[in-house]
A and B are shown apart, each in its own frame.
Chain A
């Protein structure tokens, strides 16, 4: 039983991060990021279609952390909980990476060569516009469906799947997430200024109201960017599936981040082994939740065996992708499940950090498995598109390292934990 910590034991003004201390990580991140950026520019110029998939994969991977960050702060406030006050500021920063991630999404938003390589329906829409008498896409699709029945699908869902609405939604997702992240961090920072407890309560009201919009944002972003890769495929579970991965991976990232900051000498007074245990438990919970959702989705499609739906899994359960699927079942669920099951081990930072790294690598694999199998068939370059994996790595390094560099550098602006939060003491002394 550790000593009870009171307000007097904690420094006034919290702890400020000094980026110079972390230069061992920040500088290489910038270096790798810039190298990657040159590589990416080359690939965008040389192989835009192939690289579009790499970029989407890398962008979406990093996007999931923003979604996860938003989720954890929303959940923290909405559930009126206290244990995670000490790590909330870091989640707030993670969520506030929205503008950075938005910059990395720009190639998808703005470059027609990228968009058209990813989303076949956009190509069809272009053809339809040329086909129609007065450029009316809908009418063109209707005509085209006489020779190609697939176009009927595009005609039927034109109200949702059209470019204008797609642009609007694209922007809207970032606005919603950005608004959530900015407001909650804003209230938290304001409390640091004036010490008013009411900010905590108002944050809760805000979080409750915005949870639904958050859920819709995460769902439709997943629908537009990933499900849209194959316009014929659909699954009602999709949003929940992607969300499960977001929450899981961002918790793993947080474990690593907290451990890194502790190794530099920060957060030592406020983050205890109990917090590791709690974070480990949530990591475990979402391991199981992801498995539950992933299994249910696979299982129902496998069992019913309806042609409209099976394409997604046919693609991923054949050729080389079959082994990736099996690796996901084992690596994404079975192995972390068995190891994270043990209570005492979750209190050991070194142990839990190992699983943090494991979880992140499995999350990479998960997103990879979701995005990349579409590339070969869509571009007609064979199932595995030999050699294209280099581009995938380049894109991942670019986006992850550059946003990581920005993230760590910007940590120094505010205290690492909300030092005037009225539940800070409850959080520091948490026992579970």
Chain B
């Protein structure tokens, strides 16, 4: 105690800092009203030209998707390239791809909430929106893959004239429950999060149709603490529900494969491996969307390099977990000494017809994220974008490798056949990107892209016990003398 007693009063820092401070989550000491104005401004002001330049092609591509599905209904599922033995091809690949993308949204909104990662507030809204749109893109594939899409209601357990009931022992039925639950819960979660921000938009509008609509969806929110108290409990409950849900959804998707006896599909690590892969791919998509967004709309103070850095680290971590799973699969194929497992992986990696997909996957998912070991790579937006793009592609390759290349060389060599995608396959897939982008751009246009209330809540002054005169510490960037460290601008109005 003597040493500290002689130290100067706590308001001035001691000679050597004793506290390692956290990085600020909002840069340049922005005020509450700055945050409100900046985020609401996106919705209230005219959209930049780039928005239109992206929106119009997206709408056209979404139209192409609609056309492709119409053509498929008219002509039959045969317009897709799948034939025996590849009965599942691009449709299921794309289904798994899209649903996986959604998972990052739930991870950010639910798991990072439960683990008290405050930085999530700047990206969760957009990521949740992305989740919903991605699940919509995913849902259409199995719907049309059933063949007669107008019979799709047979998937629901409701009494019908044939007195037939679903087979609840089938993984495909679990998928129906998992995906529809996931979609519903994600929408609820997203909407509950939106309510206070819709109130903000409502309060800024002039009377008119807009105010009426925002007001309706804001439910008459008045920011009362007696409401916040229940609201926060509800939010926590939804986060706690979504966390196992997100694990279950991709686990159930993995059960589609892993419950079978197909070598290369049946392996016990599939559930967590699929979940890690989904989060991995989803974060890449979040970065792909948010890096341009923060630039175009001037959100650099809210989505800071620290946010990008954190997401890059999650990509590195999950990419390495995915790599672990790839290696465990290979190892167990060897260790099991099962000739079928061995052959499946040999054909996948060495002498099958689609070997290059495996290496493309391995490079994109395991090798390319290793760049994120370096700080400069995490802080250079171009490298982050490049790796994210790699991961987006790599996760598609992964599903292709698992689904298509496994089936191409299934048990009977006489029946082997290499899959070739048709133009309908191609354009349907491209079309879903259009549909996805269209929805996302509309979201940017009409709803607050960043959770306004939540970002305000993580400012230091939002803590009633915040002591602005407490002992000052040092930030890691200054301590380590990183060359690109952030220097705050003088506070401005």
A/B contact in complex, CB under 8 angstroms = yes
Q: Is A235 an interface residue (CB 8 A)?
A: yes
The proximity string for A residues 199-225 relative to B, scoring 1 for CB distances below 8 Å and 0 otherwise, is: 011000000000110011001000100
Q: Chain A residues with Cβ under 8 A from B267's Cβ? A: 236, 300
Instruction: Scan residues 1-54 of chain B and give those whose CB is less than 8 A from a CB of chain A.
Output: 1-4, 10, 16-20, 22
> Nearest-CB distance from A83 to chain B (Å)?
8
In the complex, what distance in Å separates the CA atom of A215 from the CA atom of B272?
A: 14
The proximity string for A residues 299-341 relative to B, scoring 1 for CB distances below 8 Å and 0 otherwise, is: 1110110101000000000000000000000000000000000
> Which residue of chain A has its CB nearest to the CB of B272?
A240
B268 touching A423 by the CB < 8 A rule?
A: no
B268 touching A300 by the CB < 8 A rule?
A: yes
Say whether, besides A297-B268, A304-B261, A422-B473, A11 and B328 are in contact (CB < 8 Å).
no
Say whether, besides A8-B10, A304-B261, A219 and B18 are in contact (CB < 8 Å).
no
The stretch among B146-154, B332-340, B428-436, B446-454 that forms the contact with chain A is B332-340
B19 touching A422 by the CB < 8 A rule?
A: yes
Q: Chain B residues with Cβ under 8 A from A425's Cβ? A: 19
Q: Chain A residues with Cβ under 8 A from B16's Cβ? A: 195
Q: Is the interface of A mostly helix, strand, loop or mixed?
A: helix
B320 touching A212 by the CB < 8 A rule?
A: yes
In the complex, what distance in Å separates the CA atom of A11 from the CA atom of B1?
A: 6
> Which residue of chain A has its CB nearest to the CB of B313?
A208
In the complex, what distance in Å separates the CA atom of A197 from the CA atom of B332?
A: 43
> Which residue of chain A has its CB nearest to the CB of B270?
A300
Instruction: Scan residues 239-290 of chain B and give those whose CB is less than 8 A from a CB of chain A.
Output: 244, 247, 251, 255, 258-261, 266-272
> Nearest-CB distance from A232 to chain B (Å)?
8
The proximity string for B residues 475-490 relative to A, scoring 1 for CB distances below 8 Å and 0 otherwise, is: 0100110000000000
B259 touching A423 by the CB < 8 A rule?
A: no
> Which residue of chain B has its CB nearest to the CB of A235?
B268
Q: Is B324 an interface residue (CB 8 A)?
A: yes
B268 touching A197 by the CB < 8 A rule?
A: no
B479 touching A198 by the CB < 8 A rule?
A: yes
Cross-interface CB contact of A304 among B116, B259, B467, cutoff 8 Å: B259
Q: Is B465 an interface residue (CB 8 A)?
A: yes
A195 touching B465 by the CB < 8 A rule?
A: no
Q: Is A164 an interface residue (CB 8 A)?
A: no
Q: Is A157 an interface residue (CB 8 A)?
A: yes
Contact-residue bracket for chain A: 35 or more
In the complex, what distance in Å separates the CA atom of A161 from the CA atom of B480?
A: 46
Cross-interface CB contact of A308 among B17, B320, B336, cutoff 8 Å: B336
The proximity string for A residues 228-271 relative to B, scoring 1 for CB distances below 8 Å and 0 otherwise, is: 00000011111110000000000000000000000000000000
Q: Is A30 an interface residue (CB 8 A)?
A: no
Q: Is A166 an interface residue (CB 8 A)?
A: no
Among A6, A238, A422, chain B packs the most CB atoms within 10 A around the CB of: A422
Contact-residue bracket for chain B: 35 or more
In the complex, what distance in Å separates the CA atom of A277 from the CA atom of B451?
A: 28
Q: Is B474 an interface residue (CB 8 A)?
A: yes
A219 touching B4 by the CB < 8 A rule?
A: no
Cross-interface CB contact of A215 among B251, B269, B324, B480, cutoff 8 Å: B324
In the complex, what distance in Å separates the CA atom of A239 from the CA atom of B19?
A: 38
Q: Chain B residues with Cβ under 8 A from A238's Cβ? A: 268
The stretch among A128-136, A288-296, A400-408 that forms the contact with chain B is A288-296
Q: Chain A residues with Cβ under 8 A from B268's Cβ? A: 235-238, 296-297, 300-301
> Which residue of chain A has its CB nearest to the CB of B7?
A8
Q: Chain B residues with Cβ under 8 A from A11's Cβ? A: 1
Say whether, besides A288-B244, A422-B17, A422-B20, A160 and B335 are in contact (CB < 8 Å).
yes
Q: Is A275 an interface residue (CB 8 A)?
A: no
Q: Is B232 an interface residue (CB 8 A)?
A: no
Cross-interface CB contact of A422 among B18, B467, B480, cutoff 8 Å: B18
Q: Is A156 an interface residue (CB 8 A)?
A: yes
Q: Is B329 an interface residue (CB 8 A)?
A: yes
> Which residue of chain A has its CB nearest to the CB of B473?
A422
In the complex, what distance in Å separates the CA atom of A244 from the CA atom of B354?
A: 36
> Nearest-CB distance from A153 to chain B (Å)?
4
> Which residue of chain B has its CB nearest to the CB of A296?
B271
B20 touching A197 by the CB < 8 A rule?
A: yes
Instruction: Scan residues 310-326 of chain B and give those whose CB is less than 8 A from a CB of chain A.
Output: 320, 324-325
Say whether, besides A157-B335, A200-B20, A308-B338, A236 and B251 are in contact (CB < 8 Å).
no
A4 touching B467 by the CB < 8 A rule?
A: yes
Cross-interface CB contact of A306 among B266, B271, B329, B479, cutoff 8 Å: B266
B269 touching A240 by the CB < 8 A rule?
A: yes
In the complex, what distance in Å separates the CA atom of A234 from the CA atom of B336?
A: 6
B residues near A, CB below 8 A? 1-4, 10, 16-20, 22, 116, 244, 247, 251, 255, 258-261, 266-272, 320, 324-325, 328-329, 332, 334-338, 342, 465, 467, 470-471, 473-474, 476, 479-480
Give me the 7 closest cross-chain CB pairs, A-B, nearest first.
A422-B20, A236-B269, A156-B337, A237-B268, A153-B337, A296-B271, A234-B336
Instruction: Beyond A422-B18, A423-B20, list 14 extra A-B contacts (CB 8 Å).
Output: A4-B465, A7-B19, A8-B10, A156-B342, A157-B337, A160-B334, A200-B20, A237-B269, A292-B251, A300-B267, A304-B259, A304-B260, A306-B266, A422-B473
A residues near B, CB below 8 A? 1, 4, 6-8, 11-12, 152-154, 156-157, 159-161, 195, 197-198, 200-201, 211-212, 215-216, 219, 223, 234-240, 288, 292-293, 296-297, 299-301, 303-304, 306, 308, 420, 422-423, 425-426, 432
